[in-house]
Amino acid sequence: MAGKDGKTSATKGKKKEVKKETGLGLSFKKDENFGEWYSEVVVNGEMIEYYDISGCYILRPWAMSIWEIMETFFDAEIKKMKIKNCYFPLFVSSGVLQKEKDHIEGFAPEVAWVTKSGESELEMPIAIRPTSETVMYPYFSKWIRGHRDLPLRLNQWCNVVRWEFSNPTPFIRSREFLWQEGHTAFATKEEADTEVLEILELYRRIYEEFLAVPVIKGKKSEHEKFAGGLYTTTVEAFVPNTGRGVQGATSHCLGQNFAKMFEINFENEKGEKCMVWQNSWAYTTRTIGVMVMVHGDDKGLVLPPKVASVQVIVIPVPYKDANTQGIFDACAATVKTLNEAGFRAEADYRDNYSPGWKYSHWEMKGVPLRIEIGPKDLANNQVRAVRRDNSAKSDIPMAGLVEGVKETLDNIQQSLFDVAKQKRDACIQVVNTWDEFAEALGQKKMILAPWCDEEEVEKDVKARTKGEMGAAKSLCTPFDQPELPEGTLCFASGKPAKKWTYWGRSY
Ligand code: 87F
């Protein structure tokens, strides 16, 4: 029977069980009901609050701090590449937005418009940027005159709005999201090509080194690339629980398509008029959602130390007749030592919660390492350390605190990546025939298959796999290509295969 809250008595019973212990906990299990688990974990982990407009979410400090850590890294890296930050307006006039008709055509239904101020209709509706090509490129045309104005390399950190209609999901698919968008112009294609890969490598590092999420670098098919560009490169992640690929970030070479449309020309050394070569690239707050999906567990979020705003939570465990002040002082000293060594550590001194409640609370929030200090630890001049990722416990002598914590956090970071990679790799299936492909898709695999690289065949794959779960599509052609033996045939068309490509369902 469904209860007041719409849950069946079975799920309610489960919830009660968890609640009895600590007052915290998740009512859904990651392996049993992934969708509900995800919604619950981002809310209970205090990353997200739902908002009264569908597809819009509040990013709470716990999520925003992760975004800022990635931003600090990426911003410093692009500045080393002489890319400069700027800010263009949020609003786009309809004339400018529609200037590049082909590019906007397919996306038009997702563009949000402002039509009124107060009670009066605007003379012309104004669009809210879904991306900034059409906003920026008229000014590229104005600012670029001669070869000395090149390269022009700009980036902006901002929000964009895309009025999506399908299944909004916090971080993964929201109607407003945060991103950086880079837009650059060069005199030569070679320079543009080089930058595409340099940026893609930074995206790989964000996923693998910061979020501990393995990704595959590759090229999008003609069908899946950004239609306005020349070619699209991507880092593709995979969520084993749902068997879906996720486009993690993209770095496009736009070629000269936009230069032609927006008349972005320059005079070269010989005084000849030339068109620039352009790139654009972006990563978004989706990164955070992928991280949650990959590492989270039945106790809540699991944050990699490199992006956790609290890496170590110190919890006093006083006993009735023990030296409570001594324990609190040891906690404060521990936090101070760790902060001075550069770790993000905090203590939870709240006296209205029990240590057990605090353990669950910080586990839910995914703090990588918990330090407990009780009477025994105080007497032995040590702390008890408990890892979030695998629950392993160890005693660290106070004298070796900094070294011990450093080693443990490094180990957690590496281990999260290794475990995620192992799970991802276990989901990769190499197939050669349609039957093998269909079977692997049914098993939620990420499929590596030899392909003839024809757009019609990809459309056909989509059509043949259409169903409740969504169609399969090409995810990317990995740069790292296995050997393709002479005479290998396409899994879908039976024609000679040209390359190995990853396929699967995706977000
Ligand atoms: C939605 C509405 C209008 C994606 C849209 O990937 C336009 C668009 O152009 C649109 N959704 N796109 C493609 C964005 C391409 C490109 N823009 C700069 C990027 C990286 C950053």
- What pLDDT, in 10s, does the model give residues 453-462? 999 999 999 9
pLDDT tens, position by position, 187-239: 999 999 999 999 999 999 999 999 999 999 999 999 999 999 999 999 999 99
Ligand 1 centre distance from Cα of residue 229 (Å) = 10
Q: Is the CB of 110 under 6 A from ligand 1?
A: yes
Q: Is the CB of 181 under 6 A from ligand 1?
A: yes
Which residue's entry shows tokens 């410093």? 76
Contacts of 380 (CB under 8 A, 6+ apart): 395
Ligand 1 atom index nearest CA of 229 = 15
Ligand 1 centre distance from Cα of residue 497 (Å) = 31
Q: Give the side-chain half-sphere CA count within 13 A for 312.
A: 29
pLDDT at 10 over 90: no
Give the rounded percent of residues in the chain with a pLDDT score beyond 90: 90
pLDDT at 97: 86
pLDDT at 484: 97
pLDDT at 11 over 70: no
pLDDT at 73: 98
pLDDT at 468: 84
Return the bridge partners of 93, or none.
126
Ligand 1 centre distance from Cα of residue 190 (Å) = 23
pLDDT at 98: 83
Compute CA distances 440 → 444, 466, 504, whole Å. Answer: 7, 15, 9
CA distance 90 to 156: 11
**pLDDT higher at 100 or 164:** 164
* Amino acid sitting at position 3: G
Residue 442, H or E segment: helix 434-442
Q: Is the CB of 139 under 6 A from ligand 1?
A: no
CA distance 472 to 462: 6
Tokens of 498: 């040209």
pLDDT tens, position by position, 347-366: 999 999 999 999 999 999 99
Check residue 480 and report its DSSP letter.
S
Stretch 124-137: mean pLDDT: 96
pLDDT tens, position by position, 365-396: 999 999 999 999 999 999 999 999 999 999 99
Q: Is the CB of 250 under 6 A from ligand 1?
A: yes
pLDDT at 436 over 80: yes
pLDDT at 1 over 50: no
CA distance 489 to 464: 19
- Write out the E strands in 144-230: 152-161, 176-186, 216-219
Q: Is the CB of 113 under 6 A from ligand 1?
A: no
Per the prediction, the chain carries an average pLDDT of 94
Which pLDDT band, with edges at 50, 70 and 90, does 323 fall under?
Answer: confident
CA distance 265 to 255: 13
pLDDT at 310 over 50: yes
Q: Is the CB of 254 under 6 A from ligand 1?
A: no
Ligand 1, pocket-test mutation among 78, 83, 107, most atoms within 8 A of CB: 107
Stretch 26-42: mean pLDDT: 97
Contact 140, 100 (CB under 8 A): no
Q: Report residue 415 CA to chain centroid gap.
A: 19
Q: Is the CB of 493 under 6 A from ligand 1?
A: no
CA distance 18 to 12: 10
Tokens of 50: 């739902």
Return the bridge partners of 255, or none.
278
Contacts of 486 (CB under 8 A, 6+ apart): none
Q: Is the CB of 280 under 6 A from ligand 1?
A: yes
Nearest Cα residue to 375 out of 331, 420, 421, 419 = 331
Q: Is the CB of 46 under 6 A from ligand 1?
A: no
Which residue's entry shows tokens 């940027």? 129
Residue whose Cα lies nearest atom 15 of ligand 1: it is 226
Ligand 1 centre distance from Cα of residue 60 (Å) = 26
Residue whose Cα lies nearest atom 14 of ligand 1: it is 131
Give the rounded percent of residues in the chain with a pLDDT score beyond 70: 95
Compute CA distances 421 → 208, 284, 411, 443, 487, whole Å. Answer: 10, 22, 15, 18, 31
pLDDT at 6: 35
pLDDT at 86 over 70: yes
Which pLDDT band, with edges at 50, 70 and 90, does 23 fall under?
Answer: low
Q: Is the CB of 224 under 6 A from ligand 1?
A: no
Q: Is the pTM of this model over 0.85?
A: yes
pLDDT at 22 over 70: no
Stretch 293-320: mean pLDDT: 97
Contact 331, 300 (CB under 8 A): no
Contact 175, 55 (CB under 8 A): yes
Ligand 1 centre distance from Cα of residue 131 (Å) = 5
Ligand 1 centre distance from Cα of residue 159 (Å) = 13
pLDDT at 314 over 60: yes
pLDDT tens, position by position, 62-84: 999 999 999 999 999 999 999 99
pLDDT at 442 over 50: yes
Packing angle of the helix pair 61-80, 189-205 (nearest 10 deg): 150
pLDDT at 4: 35
Check residue 312 and report its DSSP letter.
E
